[in-house]
Structure 1
Amino acid sequence: MANRIVRAVRLLREDLQAARDRDPAARTTAEIVLAYPGLHALWSHRLTHKMWQTRALKLPARLISQFTRSLTGVEIHPGATLGRRIFIDHGMGVVIGETAVVGNGVTMFHGVTLGGRSMSHGKRHPTIGDNVVIGAGAKVLGAIWVGDGAQIGANAVVVKEVPPGAVAVGVPAKVKDRPKAAPEVDQCEDPAIFI
């Protein structure tokens, strides 16, 4: 029991640090804890995802996730698998589907959808690699893979796989030449595409 508590506290601290590291507007830990809806949605998801693993708790997990959606504007299905150090900036309008998998260190801006393109059961949402940046309003649809360090431009509609370190922009999204190393957001040619 003590190990679980220690792990949970470590995870919460990582979430706070991710917000502090990736949001230049973050001033204090208290402000982040009290006023960041993306963080609240993430914390709620960590609880509902655990509940989702138990058949008898699936309905309560869905109800809590929907209540969280009404409070934060962020809808994360309890079945989605989220990594560590994720940062959802602003949050409003973010939707993450049931079979989505999101890696570690991912940054998402408002209006992002990780959605499906099929009504069939099974894997129908994207898998997002580590350290991916997904710009505001971007839609990543279907059981596709977005590689580590990739960047998805604002309002892009991604329906095909994105290689590691690549930049995908447009509707439908096209992959631009891959940089030699995945750049930080503030080192991109045009950082405005991510806002």
Structure 2
Amino acid sequence: MFQTAQSILNRDPAAHTLLEVVLTYPGIRALFWYRIAHFLALRRFFTIANLLSQHAAHTTGITISPQARIGKRLFIDHGVGVVIGATAIIENDVTILHGVTLGARKTNPDVRHPYIKQGAFIGANAQILGHITVGAFSKVGAGAIVLVDVPDKTTAVGNPARIIWENRS
């Protein structure tokens, strides 16, 4: 958790101290409970894992399925309304703003939720739905509804989301 708190302090100009981040940022608390619930879910203690997940959702406004796979240093900024589904995968150093849904569109039991690659930025109230990939260091604009893959180092906006900028370097 220290790495996550330190990365938030580095990325958020509104953060003043490490103690402030740890004590007042709901994303940190949601990730704390998620890590415990995920540990339990991996050991097939699904009921306890889901109860912890519901507790975290009630206290933080952030719903993270215990079965989701989340890398290091995820920054959930503000957080209220964030939903991360069971088969979602989030790599390291991703930023997610409030109201974001990483949700399903089909009932495929294997992989129903998005795969968010390293360094991606997901804007407020974006909806990323289905078994799609948001590429490394890509940006999804606020309010975008993403139904298809977003390549690495691109920016996607709109409903449905479309690519408006691509960094070819």
Q: Which interval holds the TM-score relative to the shorter structure?
A: over 0.9
Using the alignment, how far apart are the partners of 2:168 and 2:149 within structure 1?
Answer: 19
Query: Equivalences for 1:13-24 in 2 at 5 Å?
Result: 13-24=2-13
Structure with bigger helix share is 1
Structure with bigger strand share is 2
Which residue of the other structure, out of 96, 104, 113, is the alignment partner of 1:116? 104
Using the alignment, how far apart are the partners of 1:98 and 1:25 within structure 2?
Answer: 31
Query: Equivalences for 1:18-97 in 2 at 5 Å?
Result: 18-55=7-44, 57-97=45-85
Structure 1: unaligned runs, 5 residues or longer: 1-11, 182-195
SS in 2 for 1:21: helix
Root-mean-square deviation over aligned CA pairs: 0.9
Cα offsets for 1:5-36 (capped at 9, x unmatched):
xxxxxxx1111112101111101111111110
Give the TM-score taking structure 1 as reference length: 0.85
SS in 1 for 2:128: strand
Give the TM-score taking structure 2 as reference length: 0.97
Runs of 4+ in 1 over 2 A off after TM superposition: none
What fraction of aligned residue pairs are identical, expressed as a percent? 44
| Pair 1:137-2:148 in alignment | no
SS in 1 for 2:166: coil
Deviation at 1:132, TM superposition (A): 0.1
Which residue identity is paired with 2:21? I
Larger radius of gyration: 1
Match of 1:158 in 2: 146
Using the alignment, how far apart are the partners of 1:120 and 1:129 within structure 2?
Answer: 21
Using the alignment, how far apart are the partners of 1:180 and 1:151 within structure 2?
Answer: 14
Alignment length (residue pairs): 169
Cα offsets for 1:21-52 (capped at 9, x unmatched):
11111011111111100110011111111110
Tell me if the contact between 2:123 and 2:141 (Cα under 8 Å) persists in the aligned partners: yes
